[in-house]
Chains A and B, each alone.
Chain A
Amino acid sequence: MPTVVIASPKGGAGKSTTAILLGTELAHAGANVVMLDCDPNRSLTLWADRGPLPDRMRVLSNVTESEIVKTIKQYDTDGQIVIVDLEGVASRLVSRAISQADLVITPMRATTLDATIGIRALQLIAEEEEALDRKIPHAVVFTMTKAIRSKQHSGISSSLAAQGVDLIDPPLMERSAFSALFEFGGNLRNMPAQGNMNGAIDNAAQFAQAVYKRLAGEV
Protein backbone atom coordinates (compact mmCIF):
# COMPACT_ATOMS: atom_id res chain seq x y z
CA MET A 1 0.00 0.00 0.00
CA PRO A 2 1.23 3.48 -0.71
CA THR A 3 3.20 5.88 1.43
CA VAL A 4 2.07 9.50 1.37
CA VAL A 5 4.63 12.04 2.60
CA ILE A 6 3.44 15.49 3.66
CA ALA A 7 6.44 17.75 3.14
CA SER A 8 7.26 21.43 3.14
CA PRO A 9 10.29 23.12 4.69
CA LYS A 10 7.98 26.02 5.61
CA GLY A 11 6.56 25.91 9.13
CA GLY A 12 2.88 26.72 9.59
CA ALA A 13 1.92 25.65 6.06
CA GLY A 14 -0.71 23.21 7.36
CA LYS A 15 1.20 19.92 7.12
CA SER A 16 -0.22 18.32 10.26
CA THR A 17 -3.77 19.45 9.53
CA THR A 18 -3.45 18.08 5.99
CA ALA A 19 -2.10 14.77 7.34
CA ILE A 20 -4.92 14.41 9.86
CA LEU A 21 -7.67 15.31 7.40
CA LEU A 22 -6.29 12.89 4.83
CA GLY A 23 -5.75 10.09 7.36
CA THR A 24 -9.13 10.40 9.05
CA GLU A 25 -11.03 10.62 5.75
CA LEU A 26 -9.24 7.62 4.25
CA ALA A 27 -9.86 5.65 7.45
CA HIS A 28 -13.53 6.70 7.36
CA ALA A 29 -13.72 5.44 3.79
CA GLY A 30 -12.42 2.04 4.88
CA ALA A 31 -8.62 2.11 4.67
CA ASN A 32 -6.21 1.10 7.42
CA VAL A 33 -3.96 4.08 8.07
CA VAL A 34 -0.63 4.35 9.91
CA MET A 35 0.45 7.91 10.69
CA LEU A 36 4.13 8.62 11.38
CA ASP A 37 4.75 11.73 13.46
CA CYS A 38 8.24 12.95 12.52
CA ASP A 39 7.75 16.50 13.75
CA PRO A 40 9.61 17.40 16.98
CA ASN A 41 6.59 19.58 17.81
CA ARG A 42 4.59 16.32 17.96
CA SER A 43 1.46 17.86 16.44
CA LEU A 44 0.01 14.50 15.38
CA THR A 45 0.71 13.02 18.78
CA LEU A 46 -0.98 15.96 20.51
CA TRP A 47 -4.01 15.44 18.28
CA ALA A 48 -4.00 11.67 18.96
CA ASP A 49 -3.83 12.28 22.72
CA ARG A 50 -6.83 14.62 22.64
CA GLY A 51 -9.46 12.02 21.91
CA PRO A 52 -10.02 8.44 20.84
CA LEU A 53 -8.38 7.62 17.53
CA PRO A 54 -10.77 6.84 14.69
CA ASP A 55 -11.13 3.17 13.79
CA ARG A 56 -8.43 1.70 11.57
CA MET A 57 -5.86 4.34 12.57
CA ARG A 58 -2.52 4.15 14.37
CA VAL A 59 -0.13 6.98 15.22
CA LEU A 60 3.58 6.38 15.80
CA SER A 61 5.47 9.21 17.49
CA ASN A 62 9.02 10.51 17.46
CA VAL A 63 10.22 8.86 14.27
CA THR A 64 13.72 10.19 13.70
CA GLU A 65 16.10 10.60 10.77
CA SER A 66 17.85 7.32 11.50
CA GLU A 67 14.56 5.40 11.85
CA ILE A 68 12.42 6.84 9.07
CA VAL A 69 13.37 4.49 6.22
CA LYS A 70 13.10 1.27 8.22
CA THR A 71 9.86 2.44 9.85
CA ILE A 72 8.24 3.16 6.49
CA LYS A 73 9.50 -0.21 5.24
CA GLN A 74 7.97 -1.92 8.28
CA TYR A 75 4.49 -0.44 7.73
CA ASP A 76 4.49 -0.06 3.93
CA THR A 77 2.78 -3.43 3.59
CA ASP A 78 -0.42 -4.72 2.10
CA GLY A 79 -3.56 -3.49 3.73
CA GLN A 80 -2.54 -0.11 5.06
CA ILE A 81 -1.70 3.40 3.93
CA VAL A 82 1.26 5.14 5.55
CA ILE A 83 1.05 8.91 6.02
CA VAL A 84 4.23 10.71 7.09
CA ASP A 85 3.96 14.12 8.74
CA LEU A 86 7.31 15.90 8.61
CA GLU A 87 8.87 18.79 10.45
CA GLY A 88 8.78 22.25 8.86
CA VAL A 89 12.51 22.55 8.24
CA ALA A 90 14.95 21.53 5.54
CA SER A 91 16.43 18.38 7.01
CA ARG A 92 17.84 15.00 6.06
CA LEU A 93 14.75 13.43 7.63
CA VAL A 94 12.66 15.20 4.97
CA SER A 95 14.87 14.06 2.07
CA ARG A 96 14.93 10.45 3.31
CA ALA A 97 11.15 10.34 3.77
CA ILE A 98 10.59 11.72 0.27
CA SER A 99 12.79 8.97 -1.16
CA GLN A 100 10.29 6.40 0.19
CA ALA A 101 7.13 8.14 -1.02
CA ASP A 102 4.51 6.98 -3.50
CA LEU A 103 3.07 10.48 -3.36
CA VAL A 104 4.47 13.68 -1.84
CA ILE A 105 1.95 16.36 -0.92
CA THR A 106 3.25 19.87 -0.29
CA PRO A 107 0.74 21.99 1.60
CA MET A 108 1.15 25.66 0.84
CA ARG A 109 -0.67 28.77 1.97
CA ALA A 110 -1.46 30.98 -1.00
CA THR A 111 1.21 33.53 -0.13
CA THR A 112 4.43 34.43 -1.88
CA LEU A 113 6.50 33.47 1.17
CA ASP A 114 4.91 30.01 1.45
CA ALA A 115 5.28 29.43 -2.28
CA THR A 116 8.91 30.55 -2.30
CA ILE A 117 9.88 28.26 0.56
CA GLY A 118 7.50 25.44 -0.42
CA ILE A 119 9.04 25.30 -3.88
CA ARG A 120 12.24 24.00 -2.25
CA ALA A 121 10.42 20.75 -1.52
CA LEU A 122 9.60 20.43 -5.22
CA GLN A 123 13.24 21.10 -6.11
CA LEU A 124 14.32 18.40 -3.68
CA ILE A 125 11.89 15.93 -5.23
CA ALA A 126 13.31 16.68 -8.69
CA GLU A 127 16.87 16.11 -7.41
CA GLU A 128 15.89 12.83 -5.76
CA GLU A 129 14.10 11.64 -8.88
CA GLU A 130 17.32 12.15 -10.78
CA ALA A 131 19.49 10.56 -8.09
CA LEU A 132 17.25 7.50 -7.74
CA ASP A 133 16.20 7.29 -11.38
CA ARG A 134 12.60 6.91 -10.23
CA LYS A 135 9.53 9.09 -10.66
CA ILE A 136 8.23 10.44 -7.34
CA PRO A 137 4.64 11.61 -7.87
CA HIS A 138 3.96 14.87 -6.09
CA ALA A 139 1.28 17.51 -5.79
CA VAL A 140 0.63 20.82 -4.07
CA VAL A 141 -2.47 21.59 -2.02
CA PHE A 142 -3.29 25.14 -1.05
CA THR A 143 -4.27 25.45 2.59
CA MET A 144 -6.16 27.99 4.69
CA THR A 145 -7.73 29.44 1.56
CA LYS A 146 -10.64 31.90 1.69
CA ALA A 147 -14.01 31.60 -0.01
CA ILE A 148 -13.04 34.45 -2.31
CA ARG A 149 -9.80 33.73 -4.11
CA SER A 150 -7.15 36.43 -3.70
CA LYS A 151 -5.13 37.76 -6.64
CA GLN A 152 -2.02 36.38 -4.95
CA HIS A 153 -3.61 32.91 -4.81
CA SER A 154 -4.58 33.07 -8.49
CA GLY A 155 -1.11 34.28 -9.47
CA ILE A 156 0.74 31.58 -7.54
CA SER A 157 -1.67 28.94 -8.77
CA SER A 158 -1.19 29.95 -12.41
CA SER A 159 2.56 30.10 -12.01
CA LEU A 160 2.76 26.58 -10.50
CA ALA A 161 0.37 25.16 -13.10
CA ALA A 162 2.48 26.69 -15.87
CA GLN A 163 5.50 24.84 -14.44
CA GLY A 164 3.59 21.58 -14.65
CA VAL A 165 2.97 21.27 -10.90
CA ASP A 166 0.00 19.08 -10.02
CA LEU A 167 -2.44 21.17 -7.93
CA ILE A 168 -4.92 19.27 -5.81
CA ASP A 169 -8.48 20.48 -6.20
CA PRO A 170 -10.20 21.33 -3.90
CA PRO A 171 -7.80 23.30 -1.73
CA LEU A 172 -8.24 23.04 2.04
CA MET A 173 -10.12 26.11 3.18
CA GLU A 174 -9.59 28.00 6.40
CA ARG A 175 -12.17 26.42 8.68
CA SER A 176 -12.63 26.48 12.42
CA ALA A 177 -13.42 22.75 12.37
CA PHE A 178 -9.97 21.98 10.94
CA SER A 179 -8.12 23.85 13.66
CA ALA A 180 -10.49 22.40 16.30
CA LEU A 181 -9.16 18.92 15.51
CA PHE A 182 -6.23 19.79 17.78
CA GLU A 183 -8.64 20.72 20.55
CA PHE A 184 -10.97 17.72 20.42
CA GLY A 185 -8.94 15.01 18.67
CA GLY A 186 -10.80 12.35 16.67
CA ASN A 187 -12.23 13.30 13.29
CA LEU A 188 -14.59 15.90 11.85
CA ARG A 189 -17.56 13.58 12.22
CA ASN A 190 -17.37 13.07 15.96
CA MET A 191 -16.30 16.50 17.20
CA PRO A 192 -18.73 19.10 18.60
CA ALA A 193 -20.04 21.34 15.82
CA GLN A 194 -17.61 24.08 14.81
CA GLY A 195 -18.92 26.54 12.25
CA ASN A 196 -20.12 25.02 8.99
CA MET A 197 -19.46 21.35 9.74
CA ASN A 198 -21.03 20.03 6.55
CA GLY A 199 -18.84 22.34 4.51
CA ALA A 200 -15.75 21.25 6.43
CA ILE A 201 -16.55 17.55 6.04
CA ASP A 202 -17.27 17.93 2.32
CA ASN A 203 -14.03 19.86 1.83
CA ALA A 204 -11.96 17.23 3.66
CA ALA A 205 -13.69 14.31 1.94
CA GLN A 206 -13.27 15.77 -1.55
CA PHE A 207 -9.61 16.50 -0.82
CA ALA A 208 -9.07 12.90 0.36
CA GLN A 209 -10.86 11.62 -2.72
CA ALA A 210 -8.60 13.71 -4.96
CA VAL A 211 -5.57 12.19 -3.21
CA TYR A 212 -7.03 8.69 -3.48
CA LYS A 213 -7.45 9.16 -7.25
CA ARG A 214 -3.77 10.00 -7.50
CA LEU A 215 -2.80 6.96 -5.44
CA ALA A 216 -5.02 4.75 -7.59
CA GLY A 217 -3.52 6.18 -10.77
CA GLU A 218 -6.74 7.84 -11.92
CA VAL A 219 -5.07 11.26 -12.27
Chain B
Amino acid sequence: MTEGKPFNIDLGRLKSREKDRSPQALEKVDRAGEELGFIGRDAQKRRGRRPSPRTGQVHAKVMPEVSEEIANEAKRRGVQQGVIIEEAWALYKDKSGN
Protein backbone atom coordinates (compact mmCIF):
# COMPACT_ATOMS: atom_id res chain seq x y z
CA MET B 1 0.00 0.00 0.00
CA THR B 2 2.96 2.33 0.42
CA GLU B 3 3.64 2.50 -3.33
CA GLY B 4 1.74 5.04 -5.44
CA LYS B 5 -1.81 5.95 -4.55
CA PRO B 6 -3.02 4.01 -1.53
CA PHE B 7 -6.60 3.70 -2.76
CA ASN B 8 -8.82 5.15 -5.39
CA ILE B 9 -11.35 7.78 -4.54
CA ASP B 10 -14.53 7.97 -6.54
CA LEU B 11 -15.40 11.62 -6.07
CA GLY B 12 -18.85 11.02 -7.49
CA ARG B 13 -19.71 8.87 -4.49
CA LEU B 14 -18.89 11.61 -2.01
CA LYS B 15 -22.02 13.62 -1.48
CA SER B 16 -22.82 16.33 0.99
CA ARG B 17 -26.15 15.99 2.75
CA GLU B 18 -28.60 18.85 2.99
CA LYS B 19 -28.15 20.75 6.25
CA ASP B 20 -30.47 23.16 7.93
CA ARG B 21 -28.58 26.42 8.44
CA SER B 22 -31.55 28.55 9.41
CA PRO B 23 -31.33 30.74 12.54
CA GLN B 24 -34.02 28.54 14.12
CA ALA B 25 -31.94 25.40 13.55
CA LEU B 26 -28.84 27.07 14.94
CA GLU B 27 -30.77 28.15 18.00
CA LYS B 28 -31.81 24.55 18.59
CA VAL B 29 -28.21 23.41 18.20
CA ASP B 30 -26.93 26.09 20.58
CA ARG B 31 -29.56 25.15 23.16
CA ALA B 32 -28.77 21.43 22.88
CA GLY B 33 -25.07 22.20 23.31
CA GLU B 34 -25.54 24.54 26.25
CA GLU B 35 -27.42 21.87 28.17
CA LEU B 36 -24.29 19.73 27.96
CA GLY B 37 -21.90 22.56 28.81
CA PHE B 38 -20.94 23.46 25.21
CA ILE B 39 -21.21 27.20 25.71
CA GLY B 40 -19.98 30.32 23.90
CA ARG B 41 -16.29 30.82 24.56
CA ASP B 42 -15.32 33.30 21.85
CA ALA B 43 -13.63 36.36 23.32
CA GLN B 44 -16.21 39.09 23.64
CA LYS B 45 -15.43 42.39 21.99
CA ARG B 46 -14.82 45.19 24.49
CA ARG B 47 -17.51 47.79 24.43
CA GLY B 48 -16.89 51.53 24.55
CA ARG B 49 -13.73 53.59 24.46
CA ARG B 50 -10.53 51.99 25.66
CA PRO B 51 -9.08 53.66 28.79
CA SER B 52 -6.50 56.31 27.99
CA PRO B 53 -2.88 55.53 28.81
CA ARG B 54 -2.54 59.21 29.88
CA THR B 55 -2.91 58.81 33.61
CA GLY B 56 -0.49 61.59 34.69
CA GLN B 57 -1.81 65.05 35.48
CA VAL B 58 -0.41 68.55 35.41
CA HIS B 59 -1.94 71.29 37.50
CA ALA B 60 -1.40 74.35 35.36
CA LYS B 61 -3.31 77.56 35.27
CA VAL B 62 -2.72 79.51 32.06
CA MET B 63 -4.07 82.72 30.59
CA PRO B 64 -7.63 82.30 29.24
CA GLU B 65 -6.61 82.86 25.61
CA VAL B 66 -3.87 80.21 25.84
CA SER B 67 -6.35 77.76 27.35
CA GLU B 68 -8.78 78.49 24.52
CA GLU B 69 -6.09 78.11 21.84
CA ILE B 70 -4.95 74.75 23.25
CA ALA B 71 -8.56 73.57 23.41
CA ASN B 72 -9.26 74.67 19.83
CA GLU B 73 -6.09 73.09 18.46
CA ALA B 74 -6.83 69.79 20.23
CA LYS B 75 -10.38 69.83 18.89
CA ARG B 76 -9.18 70.61 15.37
CA ARG B 77 -6.75 67.67 15.41
CA GLY B 78 -9.12 65.35 17.25
CA VAL B 79 -6.71 64.64 20.09
CA GLN B 80 -6.71 65.14 23.83
CA GLN B 81 -5.39 68.48 25.17
CA GLY B 82 -2.72 66.44 26.93
CA VAL B 83 -1.23 65.54 23.54
CA ILE B 84 -0.63 69.23 22.80
CA ILE B 85 1.07 69.68 26.17
CA GLU B 86 3.20 66.55 25.58
CA GLU B 87 4.33 67.92 22.23
CA ALA B 88 5.09 71.33 23.75
CA TRP B 89 7.11 69.61 26.46
CA ALA B 90 9.03 67.58 23.86
CA LEU B 91 9.87 70.81 22.00
CA TYR B 92 10.98 72.43 25.25
CA LYS B 93 13.24 69.51 26.07
CA ASP B 94 14.65 69.52 22.56
CA LYS B 95 15.35 73.24 22.76
CA SER B 96 16.95 72.82 26.18
CA GLY B 97 19.20 70.07 24.91
CA ASN B 98 17.68 67.36 27.18
Chain A residues, Cβ within 8 Å of B66 = none
A27 vs B61: C-alpha distance when bound (angstroms) = 73
Kindly state the interface size class of chain A when it binds its partner: 35 or more
A127 close to B35 (CB less than 8 A):
yes
CB distance from B37 to the nearest CB of A (A): 5
CB distance from B35 to the nearest CB of A (A): 7
Of B19-27, B46-54, B78-86, B90-98, the one contacting chain A is B19-27
B 5-27 to A, binary, CB cutoff 8 A, 1 in contact else 0: 11111110111110111000110
A134 close to B15 (CB less than 8 A):
no
Chain B residues, Cβ within 8 Å of A76 = 16, 19
Query: Tally of A-B residue pairs with Cβ under 8 A?
Result: 131
Size of the B side of the interface (Cβ < 8 Å), in residues, is 34
A25 close to B6 (CB less than 8 A):
yes
| Chain B residue at minimal CB-CB distance from A66 | B42
The 8 Å CB contact of B14, one of A81, A100, A197, is A81
CB distance from A208 to the nearest CB of B (A): 7
**B63 at interface, CB cutoff 8 A:** no
> CB within 8 Å of B: which residues of A?
1-3, 9, 25-26, 28-31, 64-66, 69, 73, 76-77, 79, 81, 89-96, 98-100, 102, 120, 123-124, 127-128, 130-132, 134, 197-198, 201-202, 205-206, 208-209, 212, 215-217
Query: 10 A-B contacts, Cβ less than 8 Å apart?
Result: A28-B5, A31-B9, A91-B41, A92-B38, A96-B33, A99-B25, A124-B36, A127-B33, A202-B1, A216-B10
Q: Which 10 A-B pairs have the closest CB atoms?
A: A95-B33, A205-B6, A127-B32, A131-B28, A216-B13, A99-B29, A91-B41, A95-B38, A131-B32, A92-B40
Known: A2-B17, A134-B17, A202-B1. 8 other contacts (CB 8 A): A1-B16, A3-B16, A9-B38, A30-B11, A91-B40, A92-B30, A124-B38, A131-B28
